[in-house]
Structure 1
Amino acid sequence: MYRVLVPVDDDPDRARGQAAFVADLPGGTDEVEAIVTHALTPEQAEAPEDLKSVDRVETVRLVRDTLDERGIDYQLAEARTPPADGILDLAAEFDVDQIVMGSRKRSPTGKVVFGSVAQQVLLEGDVPVTVVGAHEA
């Protein structure tokens, strides 16, 4: 089983890009499992228990639905904050083979600079990290 961690933020286009990448991984639906996660904001984390599930986050539902349609197994997991630390902790906890991060649209020069979360995950992660672009609806 090839296990990938898919940490999504609040941008639907980036989440679509991440979901498309995972859905197109080689090996078929029987060999890929995704762990979909989102680091709740402090406000979301302070919500009542029935409201703070990562499943309530639009981008998590978007990725979940895409993976469901393609027949890919997945689990949902809440990442702790700060997000980069939460992502790295989940990668170790679930013993993932790859992390699939989303990326903002950047200028040609800006493409050498990632956001702080992606940069920390790239530098400190123990598994390959793939950064994918956005897919507009």
Structure 2
Amino acid sequence: MYHVVVGIDEKESHVRRCIEAVVNLPGDPAEKHVTLIHSFSDNPSGASATQVHSVREAGEMLDEAGIDYDVEESSGDPADAIVSTADELDADLIVVGGRKRSPAGKALFGSVTQSVILGANRPVMATGVED
């Protein structure tokens, strides 16, 4: 079984690219398991990750591909949540969506993708985006 942790934000183009990358990984869909992780930065209504449209869309795409998945949620720093979830589950791969940002933008605001790449002790696939 090949276990992949996918960081899911609210941006649907990121989600589509991430799930397409997982679907296109070598191997039979039955040999893959995906954990979708969504980290809430602000959740005053107490929603669960399964209520987030992008998480539902990722699940639908995985269902269509015949890939088993589960959903995790956290609050706080998304990069920390993705890396710690992958560590706890001993995942084989982390998949995150990239975002076009200038070097100054990354320095001022940080980058979840960059933090995951630098903080993970396992392979990370960063998908491109069309923004």
Q: Which TM-score tier does this pair reach, normalised by the shorter chain?
A: 0.7 to 0.9
| TM-score (ref. length: structure 2) | 0.88
Give the partner amino acid of 1:82.
D
- 1:26-57 CA distance string (max 9 Å, x none): 11111110001110122x2x324xxx210111
SS in 2 for 1:26: coil
Distance in 2 between residues matched to 1:3 and 1:80, nearest whole Å: 22
Compute the displacement of 1:3 (Å). 0.3
- % identical equivalent positions: 38
Distance in 2 between residues matched to 1:7 and 1:121, nearest whole Å: 10
CA RMSD of aligned residues (A): 1.9
Q: Does 1:120 align with 2:119?
A: no
Compute the displacement of 1:103 (Å). 1.0
Q: Does 1:68 align with 2:63?
A: yes
User: Which residue is equivalent to 1:18?
Assistant: 18
Decide which of 83, 87, 100 is 2:78's aligned counterpart. Answer: 83
Compute the displacement of 1:85 (Å). 0.9
Give the partner amino acid of 1:11.
K
Contact (CA 8 Å) 2:41, 2:75: kept in 1 or not?
A: no
Compute the displacement of 1:101 (Å). 0.5
Give the partner amino acid of 2:45.
A
Structure 1 runs (4+) deviating above 2 angstroms are none
Distance in 1 between residues matched to 2:49 and 2:91, nearest whole Å: 19
The alignment of Structure 1 onto Structure 2 pairs a total of residues equal to: 127
Contact (CA 8 Å) 1:16, 1:134: kept in 2 or not?
A: no
Distance in 1 between residues matched to 2:128 and 2:114, nearest whole Å: 15
User: Which residue is equivalent to 2:37?
Assistant: 37
Compute the displacement of 1:134 (Å). 2.8
